[in-house]
Structure 1
Amino acid sequence: MSDSALAPARDLLARGAPQAAREWLQANPPRPGDAAEHAFLLGVCQLQAGQPRLAVAPLEHCLALDPSHINAANALATALHLQGNNARACQVLRLCLEYRPAAGECLLNLGRLLEMDGDHAGAMAAYGRVPAATPALSFPAGLRHATLLSRMGQTEDALALLRTLTPEPADELRTLRQLQGEILLAAGRAPEAEALLAGATDARQQLLWGMALAAQARWEPARTALGEAWERAPGERRHWTNPLTGQAFGPAPLPSPLQCFTGYHRQQVGRGEWAQRQTFARESAAYPLAPTATDWHSAFALFSAPLAPAVRRRLADRWADALLAAMPPATTLPQPRARHDGTLRIAYLSPDFGDHAMGHCLRSFCRHHDRRRCHITLYADSRDDGSEVRRQLRREADAFTEVYGLSDGDLEQRMARDGIQILVDLAGYTRGGRPRLARRPGSPLKVLYQGYPGTLGRGLADYALVDRHVCPPGSEAHWAEALIRLPDSFFLLDSEAPAVPLLEAAELGAPAAPVVFACFNQTWKVDAQAMALWQAVLAAVPEAVLWLHAETPAVAAALTRRAAEAGIGATRLHFSPGTTRPRYLARYRHVHAVLDTPLYHGHGTGADALGMGTPVLSLQGEGFQARVGGSLVRALGLPQLAAESAEAYVATAIRLGRDEAWRQALAADIRRGCATDGPLGTRRRVRQLEQAYARIWQHHRAGLAPASCAVEGGTATEDEEKTA
């Protein structure tokens, strides 16, 4: 069989028929001289069929026969990447490059893999070698290189690199202009992006133009540009990437001007542009356009703006009204299947059942539900990420159902068939949420819990699970939902998490200082108030340093400038980017205390620190999001870590820095409180949740409207406060 004799298999692959191609190859064994190419095509068949695991063996066989086979190396790297093995994929590409140093496609793919793994220097080196190796790939390599420079905050270098490229076809020219616009938008240079893209006729560029207009609160022209762009390319838009988030728009509906505005300004305040916060808050609160069914995507970004709880409630009501008005016509829900065991059928819905902060919090909670009282269904509204967290949740739930891609109507039909009585929404107005789900007659009762720190607005949920600290008496006016106040804290964390590796400070890039304060919150939570508090603490504890999270050197540089303005020298700060969860948790062993951000407390990060026995100090604010830290430590019997004033925050932080014996005593109390049966333990919290669900269902069975109540010591008692 000659190489040309393999043409039928190639033709079948080109026509998208991998199964037929594989059958042809299996029916036509290779001759010795064709064995490598034959094995390569078998591997491609498996890749095209969505079976990367099965593609590995034939592709490895091909490379064993011909180590310089460029296409096989790239295909094998792809198969390994799809299985999460980027390290091995990089090895494959590097080995091929030893035989074929001018293999530009291998260099390009190597750069992409290194970029994904956070090796930015290695990625840029790989991209930089492409033009000399394969001049025909100079343009795509330059685009990737410039994109990475932009993400690293090196905007001018990225734009300068793009100016050196020579696009030839019209498509390349459009792509170049588009990337220039994306880089300017991502850098907070909306006026320049607008000038570059004004009058664009290409749909993607027009979308970016609309986003640039929205970023400047030019609402009407932004709405027009966004709408026209969305209508021009219905088949392409699902593949477009939002330059402000790095996420694909996917099948989502038209982004609203408010959504673009909030995404832009949240990104900028996360880079230290704090002067924009007041404009951000003012323009968002006064948004003049009629609400649309996509405005709710702005909700979480707005927590980076200083809005009063009453304003957040008003905005949420507007979003809820728009969502309900746009709801498709009602369909008849099927009758639930008969149940004879007397258990409550509870479903938890989340897009984060996996390697995500929410997934880690919930990791072991299913095993503690009393199956005599509750039947637990998990509706996983995301693709399987292959994580151990997802596998454990799947094993321990009574039912684990993949619902990603289902419409709201189809999911409501599924819940009805499953006989769900109470739906616990763990997403709310966060990415991947379904806020208007379960609002039809016959739908289960809907309970908002943990994932979103605020109300969904009128008509979208029946209850919210909170506690007396995050929602003190009088806060009912800021919620459309009836409030169920749990004892201790509302927060559910995993008190049975896997052991964290013992790693030395140097291995983790920890600062070498006698006292290490830390805050690993996302940088959009840091503001001028936080910097002022930290300055006062560091001035009083001269041997201390502050360890902060910063995803890129540019963000670290911006925070260093802001710190200098507050009087904090650069030597008092230490920055680290994100890392794997085990290494992130191991960092807390080298932290003496966490100094939380007042604007928005560390919710998952605060719970993580406490789970590692590290004291967390927070200043209590006005809204739910600024009171979670206090909820956690008060549940542990440590109210001194929930400061009610800036003066108390600074004084307590100074004591944490100076009094080692007190820190050790606090750490011991924290570890006891985070044990399985402690005040923050998983078993205890699940029992309280079950009491809340029983109370909710009892109230519903009595024909009563949702009403606020408190769960106390395993029983539910009516709140003395009136329900709003």
Structure 2
Amino acid sequence: MQPPTPHPHLMFQQAALAHDQGRTWEAERLYQAVLAADARHSGALLRLGMLRLDQRRLADAEPLFRRAVRADKRSAEAHQLLGFTLTGLGQLDEAIRAYEKTIVLRPGLAEAHNNLGYALQLLGRSSEAMARYRKAIALRPDYHEAHNNLGNAHHIQGQSAKAIPHYQKAIEINPGYAEACWNLGTALRATGQFDDAAKAYAGAIAIRPDYAEAYNSLGNTLRALGRAEEAIAHYGKAIAIKPDDLEPHINLGDTLLGLNREDAAISSYDRALAIKPESADILSRRGDALVRLRRDADAIANFERALAIDPAHDFAFDGLARTALASCDWTRTVALRDEVAARVAAGRFVDAFAFLSYSNDPEQQLVCARRYIRQHVPERPPPLWRGGNWRNERIRIAYVACGFHDHPTAYLTAELIERHDRAGFEVIGISLGPDDQSDIRARLKTAFDRFYDVREMSDRDVAALIGELKIDIAIDRSGYTVNARPAIFAARPAPIQVNYVGFPGSLGADFYDYVIGDATVLPIEQQPFFSENIVHLPDCYLPNDSRRPDAAHMPTREEAGLPCHGFIFCCFNSSYKITPEIFDIWMRLLRQVSGSVLWLYADRSSAEVNLRQAAAAHGIDPARLVFARRMAQGDHLARHRLADLFLDTLPYNAHTTAADALWAGLPVVTCPGKSFAGRVASSLLRGIGMPELVTSDLGSYERLALRLALEPALLDDTRKRLQQNRLSQPLFDSDRYRRNLEAAYVTMWERWQRGDKPAGFAVTPHM
């Protein structure tokens, strides 16, 4: 005889006890038995549904709660749990209706108001969500989840400062609330309070030592603070806890890449790709690391694979455009030109520096620069200088640069720094770039009154340093080049901020007051294409060093890899400046000048291969292209004397390379473009009194180069006049240049002291 079946009410009590004691399997069996006896038993339906929620089986819980609602339409708990489950399933409109029914039945149920707010927030109805969170808090002031959610609603709306006190209140109520600590850190970071953000993330980790997301966020914050090694350690902890979480792998790769550990960065990106193989974003990052290693073919393959996955991916496209340019891959650059211009016109991201080689249009360059700075500084930090003035004993200027090492601009400006009038100026160096232990870095460190190596400092801390030093004029010597950090200037640490030398174009940002040029590189009619006010120096805007080092040994042609006889055309510009149109001219010159060779700078092996192939395609023996390797500055200047004629590029001219050639007595033939970057060699030639070497168009450029190559007397006369002019004309008169530049600084300073707004002006020549 079978024992009698227990009454459903008794079985439900047994099931609930088993459930509360964690005996899940037994509880489930008993709930099912209750429902077999009474399919409308609302208690069993609710408790079995809750058990399914604990098991994260939302799809199985939903029909149970629906049955509970049908069994007892007056059950606020059933409506509430149905709403909760529907929210988790993404059925938000129906979830909202369930919560609204809950509130009708139990208006004082704080949880229902909070949960309704969350569903509204997921639908983007933030104002309504906030009202519900506030109602929940009014009903239950110690409701820490509602305080946290109200903070989230503010943060999502971009009101991170308003979110902070709500997170703090949630933590005050529940000190063990790890998620609120994490949210607080995120809001503090969004408002630029990085040190406090790091403490908040650390607090979340102290509560939950396995909180992978907090380790990752702490890594991001430490990285922003310039504490890269600590950031790497925290990314490693996040990965150890959640090996399949994509974000810390990517962040680790980015941090390693920022430390120039390219191989390690690629390994991190590879681990990320193992998790998400079809990620255009990761492939683009991996391509950037490969470019740093000059593995250009591999980089291009990564960028193109990324674009195959996502044709609209801006950074993959930008990487492809930059790498093709640097490697003289003209099949790609010619095909990309129109799309590069179209993307810029549409407000898409393209590297502003690379764009100078794609476009000769200053208006397009301004559009590109504006988009570039929006990408790199999406939110302007609060300004450190808020108006007003002060008077230092001397005008205090700071040159902020990533090139205070073995870098072209270091050689250009070293003597200027040494010659600055210390009676009127205090001159400070802020170094963003590497310490390569080079002679030029040592010379610069000695030249400055004070020198700060700030590589390991965050942008905000560098800006704060400039503010604490009470710098009158902060000079950005890097613009948008490698290792540049425009976010420092975005914080407005100084009353006067200047774009000078590092970037030959507008920076497109309203936190730069002036750009220094001259009438040749930057005609005043180009003011509409510059966000900065144009300042004209009277001769050439580019500084020069009359104390360039001499070589210990003058090389022979054979030592330089050049033929013993024949005309030597030369161009030591970086490969990204060489265009197919210019190269066509050079190949015609080689064809017409018997025995001549073209001497180029060995910038990238990929460019060498592509240039030799291009020469062969023109019917020119690739051996007639000779590549010069990098060497010490004095030796490099000395070998210029082996060449006969320097051929310039367009749309991006020779800058430092043209100045080096002229110093060495090597004539330069140029053709000015429409924009700043394409007019520098013209300015240099006018500054040295050789305007006849500036041609009006590429046809004239080719004819003049050919004439100089075929008429030895003309070339000899040109070289003699160049040698005579080197020390008699303004270009290499460093003290004259220094006086003119200081006059510009004084005018800027005087306008600020009077309370006048920045405005363009021309410096009266100082002889």
TM-score, normalisation: structure 1: 0.61
Q: Are residue 556 (structure 1) and residue 608 (structure 2) matched? A: yes
Name 1:84's counterpart in structure 2: none
Q: Are residue 302 (structure 1) and residue 355 (structure 2) matched? A: yes
Q: Paired residue for 2:314, among 245, 250, 258?
A: 258
**By how many angstroms is 1:625 displaced?**
1.2
Q: Pairwise mapping of residues 212-223 of structure 1 onto structure 2 (< 5 A)?
A: 222-223=280-281
CA contact (8 A) 1:466 1:485 kept: yes
Q: Paired residue for 2:588, among 532, 536, 560?
A: 536
Cα deviations across residues 328-355 of structure 1 (Å, max 9, x unaligned)? 445688999973x3x2111111111111
Name 1:428's counterpart in structure 2: 479
CA contact (8 A) 2:431 2:454 kept: yes
Q: Are residue 313 (structure 1) and residue 313 (structure 2) matched? A: no
**By how many angstroms is 1:300 displaced?**
1.4
Q: Paired residue for 2:272, among 195, 203, 208?
A: 203
**By how many angstroms is 1:711 displaced?**
1.4
How far, CA to CA, are the matches of 2:578 and 2:276 in structure 1? 30
How far, CA to CA, are the matches of 1:669 and 1:611 in structure 2? 12
Q: Are residue 445 (structure 1) and residue 492 (structure 2) matched? A: no
Q: Paired residue for 1:457, among 502, 508, 511?
A: 508
Cα deviations across residues 604-654 of structure 1 (Å, max 9, x unaligned)? 211111111111111111111111111110111111111111222122112
Is the deviation greater in 316-325 or in 635-644? 316-325
Change (3 A) 1:257 1:363: farther
CA contact (8 A) 2:397 2:472 kept: yes
Change (3 A) 1:661 1:395: same
Q: Paired residue for 1:483, among 529, 534, 538?
A: 534
How far, CA to CA, are the matches of 2:517 and 2:276 in structure 1? 40
User: What are structure 1's unaligned runs of at least 5 residues?
Assistant: 1-170, 172-177, 179-196, 211-221, 231-236, 249-255, 716-724
Cα deviations across residues 661-701 of structure 1 (Å, max 9, x unaligned)? 43333334334444497333322221111011111112222
CA contact (8 A) 1:523 1:549 kept: yes
Name 2:329's counterpart in structure 1: 273
How far, CA to CA, are the matches of 2:345 and 2:706 in structure 1? 48
Cα deviations across residues 579-618 of structure 1 (Å, max 9, x unaligned)? 3433322220100110111231121211111111111111
Q: Secondary structure at the match of 1:619?
A: coil
Residue identity in the other structure for 2:325: V
**By how many angstroms is 1:510 displaced?**
2.6
Residue identity in the other structure for 2:292: T
Q: Paired residue for 1:649, among 682, 689, 701?
A: 701
Change (3 A) 1:386 1:278: same
Change (3 A) 1:620 1:520: same
Name 1:244's counterpart in structure 2: 291
Q: Are residue 393 (structure 1) and residue 444 (structure 2) matched? A: yes
How far, CA to CA, are the matches of 1:337 and 1:709 in structure 2? 23
CA contact (8 A) 2:389 2:753 kept: no
How far, CA to CA, are the matches of 2:501 and 2:315 in structure 1? 23
Is the deviation greater in 600-609 or in 701-710? 701-710
Change (3 A) 1:484 1:551: closer
Structure showing the higher helix proportion among its residues: 2
Change (3 A) 1:304 1:241: closer
Q: Pairwise mapping of residues 654-673 of structure 1 onto structure 2 (< 5 A)?
A: 654-673=706-725
Change (3 A) 1:204 1:574: same
Cα deviations across residues 252-294 of structure 1 (Å, max 9, x unaligned)? xxxx9434422322222333321322443333334499979xx
Change (3 A) 1:206 1:511: farther
Q: Secondary structure at the match of 2:670?
A: strand
Q: Secondary structure at the match of 2:563?
A: coil
How far, CA to CA, are the matches of 1:305 and 1:486 in structure 2? 27
Residue identity in the other structure for 1:415: I
Residue identity in the other structure for 2:367: R
How far, CA to CA, are the matches of 2:549 and 2:543 in structure 1? 16
Q: Paired residue for 1:602, among 651, 654, 661?
A: 654
Q: Secondary structure at the match of 2:545?
A: coil
Q: Are residue 700 (structure 1) and residue 752 (structure 2) matched? A: yes
CA contact (8 A) 1:488 1:680 kept: no
Q: Pairwise mapping of residues 304-703 of structure 1 onto structure 2 (< 5 A)?
A: 304-306=357-359, 308-330=361-383, 339=392, 341=393, 343-440=394-491, 443-501=494-552, 502-551=554-603, 554-675=606-727, 678-703=730-755
Residue identity in the other structure for 1:271: S
Change (3 A) 1:470 1:333: closer
Change (3 A) 1:554 1:310: closer
How far, CA to CA, are the matches of 2:498 and 2:406 in structure 1? 23
How far, CA to CA, are the matches of 1:241 and 1:319 in structure 2? 17
Residue identity in the other structure for 1:626: G
**By how many angstroms is 1:205 displaced?**
5.7
Cα deviations across residues 548-593 of structure 1 (Å, max 9, x unaligned)? 2234665333212212333434353323333343332222010011
TM-score, normalisation: structure 2: 0.58
Cα deviations across residues 352-395 of structure 1 (Å, max 9, x unaligned)? 11111111112222221111221111111123211111111111
Change (3 A) 1:412 1:244: same
How far, CA to CA, are the matches of 1:655 and 1:415 in structure 2? 53
Residue identity in the other structure for 1:406: M
The share of aligned pairs that are identical, in percent, is 28
Name 1:146's counterpart in structure 2: none
Q: Secondary structure at the match of 2:748?
A: helix
Change (3 A) 1:665 1:444: farther
**By how many angstroms is 1:302 displaced?**
2.2
Q: Secondary structure at the match of 1:514?
A: coil
Residue identity in the other structure for 2:380: M
User: What are structure 2's unaligned runs of at least 5 residues?
Assistant: 1-242, 244-249, 251-265, 296-311
Residue identity in the other structure for 2:339: E
**By how many angstroms is 1:399 displaced?**
1.3
Cα deviations across residues 69-112 of structure 1 (Å, max 9, x unaligned)? xxxxxxxxxxxxxxxxxxxxxxxxxxxxxxxxxxxxxxxxxxxx
How far, CA to CA, are the matches of 1:289 and 1:476 in structure 2? 19
CA contact (8 A) 1:489 1:680 kept: no
CA contact (8 A) 2:384 2:493 kept: no
Q: Pairwise mapping of residues 93-112 of structure 1 onto structure 2 (< 5 A)?
A: none
Change (3 A) 1:639 1:506: same
Residue identity in the other structure for 2:758: P
Q: CA RMSD in A?
A: 3.4
Size of the aligned set, in residue pairs, is: 486
Q: Secondary structure at the match of 2:611?
A: helix
How far, CA to CA, are the matches of 1:535 and 1:678 in structure 2? 34
**Structure whose alpha-carbon radius of gyration is higher:** 2
How far, CA to CA, are the matches of 2:678 and 2:492 in structure 1? 35
Residue identity in the other structure for 1:444: P
Residue identity in the other structure for 2:290: P
**By how many angstroms is 1:322 displaced?**
4.4
Name 2:73's counterpart in structure 1: none
Q: Secondary structure at the match of 2:730?
A: coil
